[in-house]
């Protein structure tokens, strides 16, 4: 990290010049500009409906005030990274600029959107860009980028002329929130001291945000797929004798970030040796006993959308883990077959019922205790909720209560947990100290779009709704997968068609002596590589040699293998001396 030598540069931050945003391409968000516009329109319609039905003032003017996050600093000149935008602000604008404010003024007929931005605060744009990168300072261009009517310097917020007798919609938490620009927000709010004020703006926004659009579903689907792959690779690459939790955390973060534009949605939990009983354990620096259970709770952030998943790696206390897995499956099955209203509160109650049932069946809970006492015990053993919304925040739409009916477009987690304290006398001592949870992310969608997403092979029929398990891609225990067909399907589910995944499928089927299917996969891998704009010929020849090997095994001799290779020389590489030499070398190796 470089220190700023000329402190006058930093001190000049108090001398305001022109508005700016860091260079930004809203198309990179995965959400269209029209969708951001539609979100603002939907919020305005909700406000109008509220004013008409609750305030009985349909013709009244209204003002919506929504601030962005401020950039937080670890110390002088050192900002926390990556910057996390205030989710409601991002939902309505797509803007990632810190310290901005969105103001929407309207009535029952029209509305306008205004974005207030900080001014560029160095002596020149060139000076700023030398330190922080390209900017956009043209107000009209900024309006076009975000589909906003007008852009103002943020210091003009306090003097902006407002419609007369406006009802103010904001969120009272803004007053105490350390992550927003209170310097500009608080004086502005004081202008409404004699007005009607609704301080629950977030409740309107969360009712909108809880229903994910098709574009949002695709983003969450993608981040869940990538996180699943990171989990699996972490399991594969962490040796059974791994010594410390921080090594698992480091491996998981590496596996996430190497997949592309991913960051951590939250600080991961890596809890070994019963430390999962600390539900939000975060030290991640303790030693791991041999053959001990390791619980990894982690999630990724992709284009501002989150995933949240939990798996365990290995455990001697298999019996309890199987109970937890059964409860998890039963909850999914219930949603699959339910013909009544479903809520997260109902899922919580069902999880408790299932847990009591299976713990009793395994004689972990006494069959003689009455139902009320059993419920009290379960509240100790299962203190966490079974589900939460997922989206721009890991615990998304916090104002959507557990009693609310789940609807198409909701993305929620299913995460039963079992935490047995060492001090619990109601279970045998052998089980005390066990703690684990299983977490999957699911989407409820309408029946009429079944065909549009069926191709993902992640669908379960669900009366007039349908359930998509984003995390069918991550099996309960990767190390338990023995059946070849299941392994092949597993690879199909988690990876998009690619040279690597198709070759892996070819390898699986080849070693199972399913030669015809292996040839299909290898040929598909070859076709994918040859379609690439940057062909890797080492891959091409490796695949050719794999195909030749399949022919040899299929026919029981090397004649077919050599014939295939000689045919390549006579057709595809007849004018390519270098590549022909590579194939001749392979033929010599076969005969040798």
Handedness of CA 188, 189, 192, 197 (dihedral sign): positive
Average pLDDT over residues 364-380: 88
Whole-angstrom Cα distance, residue 184 to residue 181? 6
pLDDT at 472 over 60: no
Angle between helices 214-237 and 484-494 (to 10 degrees): 130
Q: What is the pLDDT of residue 445?
A: 66
**193 confidence band (pLDDT: 50, 70, 90):** confident
Structure tokens at 71: 């950039």
Could you tell me what percent of the chain has a pLDDT over 70? 80
* pLDDT > 80? residue 165: no
For residue 210 the two structure tokens come to: 């809880």
Cα 84 from Cα 368, distance rounded (Å): 52
**pLDDT of res. 221:** 84
pLDDT band, very low/low/confident/very high, at 101 (cuts 50, 70, 90):
very high
**Mean pLDDT, residues 488-496:** 45
Averaged over 275-295, what is the pLDDT?
84
pLDDT category of residue 152 using cuts at 50, 70 and 90: very high
Angle between helices 214-237 and 245-257 (to 10 degrees): 140
Q: What pLDDT does 18 receive?
A: 60
The encoded tokens of residue 70 equal: 């401020």
From the number of C-beta atoms within 10 Å of its C-beta (0-12, 13-18, 19+), residue 130 rates as exposed
273 vs 241: CA distance, rounded Å? 13
Going along the chain from its start, the domains and CATH numbers come out as 7-209 (3.40.350.10), 214-480 (3.90.230.10), 497-591 (1.25.40.10)
Helices (H) and strands (E) in the chain, counts: 19, 22
| More confident: 474 or 395 | 395
Residue 367, pLDDT score: 83
Paired residues of 355 in beta bridges: none
- Average pLDDT over every residue of 289-302: 82
H or E element in which residue 483 lies: none
pLDDT at 121: 65
CB within 8 Å of 182: residues ≥ 6 apart: 174, 175
What is d(CA 38, CA 91) in angstroms, rounded to the nearest whole number?
Answer: 11
Q: Go through 27-62 and write b for each residue having 16 or more CB atoms within 10 A of its CB, e for each that does not.
A: eebbbeeebbeebbebbbebbbebbeeeeeeeebbb
Length in residues, the chain: 592
For the chain, what is the mean pLDDT? 78
Give the angle 260-261-264 at the CA atoms, nearest 5°: 105
Cis peptide before 339 (omega within 30 of 0): no
Q: For residues 558 and 245, which has the higher predicted lDDT (pLDDT)? A: 245
What is the rounded average pLDDT of the residues 157-183? 77
Residue 444 exposed, middle or buried by CB count within 10 Å (0-12, 13-18, 19+): buried
Percent of the chain, pLDDT > 90?
Answer: 18
HSE-CB of 422 using CA atoms within 13 angstroms: 5
Query: Which of 288, 248, 293 shows the shortest CA–CA distance to 269?
Result: 248
d(CA 507, CA 499): 12
Overall average pLDDT of the 187-206 stretch: 85
Q: For residues 313 and 476, give the distance between their C-alpha atoms in angstroms, rounded to a whole number.
A: 10
Read off φ and ψ for residue 19, nearest 5 degrees: -70, 160
Confidence class of residue 10 from pLDDT cuts 50, 70 and 90? very low
pLDDT, residue 379, reads: 92
Query: CA 425 → CA 251, 321, 428, 551, distances in Å?
Result: 37, 20, 7, 64
At 517, the pLDDT band (50, 70, 90 cuts) reads: confident
pLDDT computed for residue 465 by the predictor? 36
Supply the pLDDT for residue 475.
39
pLDDT digits (tens, 9 = 90+) for 320-369: 888 888 998 899 888 877 667 789 999 999 999 999 999 999 888 888 88
Nearest to 297, CA basis, from 270, 272, 275: 270
* Number of Cβ atoms within 10 Å of the Cβ of 486: 12
Pairing of the two strands 459-462 and 465-469? antiparallel
Report the alpha-carbon distance of residue 180 to residue 90 in Å, rounded.
13
Residues forming beta bridges with residue 462, ordered by sequence position? 465
Res 32 pLDDT > 60: yes
The tens digit of pLDDT for each residue in 404-452 reads 888 888 888 899 999 988 888 899 888 888 888 888 888 886 642 222 2
Half-sphere CA count of 99, side-chain side, radius 13 A: 16
Higher pLDDT, 506 or 63: 63
Determine the Cα–Cα distance for residues 337 and 421; give it in Å rounded to an integer: 34
Average pLDDT over residues 104-119: 92
Count CB-CB contacts under 10 A for residue 459. Answer: 16
């Amino acid at each position: 990290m470089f220190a700023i030598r000329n402190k006058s540069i930093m001190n000049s931050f108090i001398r305001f010049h022109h508005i700016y945003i860091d260079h930004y391409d809203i198309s990179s968000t995965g959400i269209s500009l029209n969708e951001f516009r539609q979100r603002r329109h939907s919020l305005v319609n909700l406000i109008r409906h509220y004013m008409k039905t609750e305030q009985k003032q349909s013709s009244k003017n209204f003002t919506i005030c929504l601030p962005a996050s401020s950039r937080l600093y670890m110390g002088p000149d050192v900002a926390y990274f990556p910057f996390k935008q205030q989710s409601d602000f991002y939902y309505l604008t797509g803007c990632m600029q810190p310290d901005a404010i969105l103001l929407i003024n309207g009535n029952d007929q029209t509305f306008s959107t205004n974005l207030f931005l900080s001014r560029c605060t160095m002596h020149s744009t060139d000076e700023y860009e030398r330190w922080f990168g390209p900017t956009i300072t043209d107000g009209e261009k900024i309006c076009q980028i975000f589909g906003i009517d007008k852009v103002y310097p943020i210091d003009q917020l306090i003097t902006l002329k407002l419609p007369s007798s406006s009802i103010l919609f904001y969120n009272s938490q803004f007053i105490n929130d350390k992550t927003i620009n209170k310097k500009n927000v608080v004086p502005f709010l004081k202008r409404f001291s004699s007005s009607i004020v609704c301080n629950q703006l977030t409740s309107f926004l969360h009712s909108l945000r809880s229903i994910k659009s098709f574009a949002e579903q695709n983003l969450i689907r993608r981040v869940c797929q990538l996180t699943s792959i990171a989990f699996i690779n972490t399991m594969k690459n962490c040796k059974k004798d791994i010594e410390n939790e921080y090594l698992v955390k480091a491996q998981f973060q590496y596996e996430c970030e190497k997949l592309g534009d991913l960051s951590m949605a939250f600080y991961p939990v890596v809890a070994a040796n019963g430390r999962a009983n600390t539900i939000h354990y975060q030290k991640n620096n303790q030693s791991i006993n041999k053959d001990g259970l390791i619980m990894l709770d982690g999630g990724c952030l992709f284009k501002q959308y989150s995933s949240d998943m939990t798996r365990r790696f290995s455990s001697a206390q298999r019996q309890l883990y199987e109970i937890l897995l059964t409860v998890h499956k039963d909850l999914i099955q219930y949603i699959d077959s339910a013909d009544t209203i479903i809520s997260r509160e109902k899922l919580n109650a069902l999880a408790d019922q299932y847990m009591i049932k299976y713990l009793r069946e395994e004689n972990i809970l006494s069959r003689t205790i009455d139902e009320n006492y059993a419920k009290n015990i379960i509240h100790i053993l299962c203190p966490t909720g079974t589900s939460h919304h997922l989206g721009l925040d890991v615990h998304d739409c916090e104002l959507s209560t557990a009693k609310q009916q789940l609807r198409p477009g909701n993305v929620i987690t299913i995460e039963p947990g079992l935490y047995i304290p060492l001090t619990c006398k109601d279970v045998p001592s052998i089980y005390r100290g066990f703690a684990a949870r299983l977490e999957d992310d699911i989407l409820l969608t309408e029946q009429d779009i079944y065909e549009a997403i069926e191709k993902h092979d992640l669908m379960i029929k669900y009366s007039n709704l349908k359930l998509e398990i984003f995390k069918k891609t991550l099996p309960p225990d990767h190390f338990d997968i023995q059946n070849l067909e299941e392994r092949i399907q597993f690879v199909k589910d988690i990876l998009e068609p690619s040279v690597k995944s198709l070759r892996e499928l070819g390898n699986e089927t080849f070693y199972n002596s399913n030669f015809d299917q292996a040839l299909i996969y290898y040929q598909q891998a070859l076709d994918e590589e040859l379609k690439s704009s940057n062909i890797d010929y080492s891959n091409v020849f490796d695949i050719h040699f794999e195909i030749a090997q399949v022919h040899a095994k299929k026919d029981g001799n090397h004649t077919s293998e050599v014939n295939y290779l000689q045919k390549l020389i006579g057709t595809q590489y007849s004018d390519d001396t270098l590549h022909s030499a590579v194939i001749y070398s392979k033929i010599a190796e076969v005969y040798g």
